[in-house]
Amino acid sequence: MFPDLFRDDVFRIETRRLWLRWPTARDAETLLRFAADPEVGATMAGTPGLPDGADEDAFIVALRAANAAGTGLTLALCERARPGRTLGLVGIGPSPGDEAGRFFGWLGRPFWGDGLMSEAVGAVVQAWFAWAGGTRLDAQVRGDAPAARRVLEKAGFVPAEAGRLRLDRGRWLSGAADERPALAAAE
């Protein structure tokens, strides 16, 4: 699913305000605290969670194992100015039954309303289509989460069947280049 470029834990994506990097053990407590917030949990479906009976370390190990195997890419959102400060989680995993990717992500509530999630989504979508050769991304918003839906629509996703949103490579390519975030992949 993801090429070798993504499979090393020094890989990160930089945007104007964010570093998207592999999650580390020091991120676990913050990520799981944010994820436990019911308002955060109500935003996007399909985000990896803590397996029943597992500890924080197992959560991070599972995310990093998928990254290393290239079967998914999960990145911690961090401020560029403070890369140790974790704000949320974003990524792409396999979509059951086909070759599409499944986008997921969320942002801790203290960081809502400043466009950070839109910046992160745009970066991951661009990485999927430009660097990983992806052909389609699917996403799903839980329940009534209009802000999450708007974030995905800003990135080019359109409504599809059964409450899902979809973005295919052709639609992504037809988007204006100046609307895409300036990215740098650091190794």
Tell me if 185 is assigned to some domain.
no
Tell me if 187 is assigned to some domain.
no
Structure-model confidence comparison of residues 13 and 41, the more confident one: 13
Q: What local confidence, expressed as pLDDT, does residue 19 receive?
A: 95
Mean pLDDT for all residues in the chain: 86
Distances (CA, A) of 95 to 28, 105, 147, 156: 25, 15, 23, 18
Taking a C-beta distance cutoff of 8 angstroms, is the pair 118, 57 a contact? no
Domain interval for residue 82 = 4-176
Q: Which residues pair with 103 in a beta bridge?
A: 92
Tell me if 101 is assigned to some domain.
yes
Q: Which of 36, 32, 42, 18 is nearest to 123 (CA)?
A: 18
Residue 181 pLDDT level (bands cut at 50, 70, 90): low
Q: What is the pLDDT of residues 16-29, one digit of tens each?
A: 999 999 999 999 99
Structure-model confidence comparison of residues 63 and 51, the more confident one: 63
Angle CA 89–92–93, to nearest 5: 115
Tell me if 161 is assigned to some domain.
yes
Q: What local confidence, expressed as pLDDT, does residue 180 receive?
A: 57
Predicted TM-score of the model (pTM): 0.88
Q: Structurally, how many domains does the chain consist of? A: 1
For the segment 111-129, the average pLDDT, to the nearest whole number, is 95
Q: What local confidence, expressed as pLDDT, does residue 186 receive?
A: 56
DSSP alpha helix (H) spans, the chain: 28-35, 38-41, 56-69, 116-126, 146-154, 169-174
Tell me if 95 is assigned to some domain.
yes
Residue 55 pLDDT level (bands cut at 50, 70, 90): confident
Tell me if 147 is assigned to some domain.
yes
Tell me if 23 is assigned to some domain.
yes
Q: What is the pLDDT of residues 132-177, one digit of tens each?
A: 999 999 998 877 788 888 999 999 999 998 778 999 999 999 884 4
Q: What local confidence, expressed as pLDDT, does residue 110 receive?
A: 94
Tell me if 78 is assigned to some domain.
yes
Structure-model confidence comparison of residues 184 and 80, the more confident one: 80
Query: How many C-beta atoms surround the C-beta of residue 93 within 10 A?
Result: 18
Domain CATH for 99: 3.40.630.30
